[in-house]
Amino acid sequence: MQERVALESEIIRKCLSRSELQCSFLEYRGYKVIYRRYASLFFIVGTIANPDAGPKAENTENELGMLEFIHTLVETMDKWAGSICELDIMYQLEQVHFIVDEMVMNGQILETNRRNILRPIDLLEAESKKKGGIFGRR
């Protein structure tokens, strides 16, 4: 666990130290790192080569596809929260995780349609507002 935290910290430092004129892709310790900055938020995705392909396997993940995924994620969160900011993520982390879970399963991107991603959250919020609903106060 400590190794993972150290790796995450190193990758974050690498991304923060890069200028806006530099490419949003980098390779670090066997990982392909794709990041994008939106205002004061950094979204970072790391990929690794398929471990079943052997030790010399090449990481063939599409960097532009990952940038598009990050953009779709941010657009979805913007639609959900208005204009997404750090406080939205900090205070509503469970909903943010729910959005990511609706988009990604087992490391594969499954859904990119914002309406389909946000539908379950909208249904939960509508149900919680109903008087006597399953999530409402009694």
Alpha-carbon gap, residue 79 to 74, rounded angstroms: 9
Question: What are residue 113's phi and psi, to 5 degrees?
Answer: -80, 115
pTM of the model: 0.83
**50-93 residue pLDDT tens:** 767 666 777 778 899 999 999 999 999 999 988 888 999 999 99
Here the tokens at position 88 are 């939205």
Cα 95 from Cα 23, distance rounded (Å) = 31
pLDDT in tens, 38-51: 888 999 999 887 76
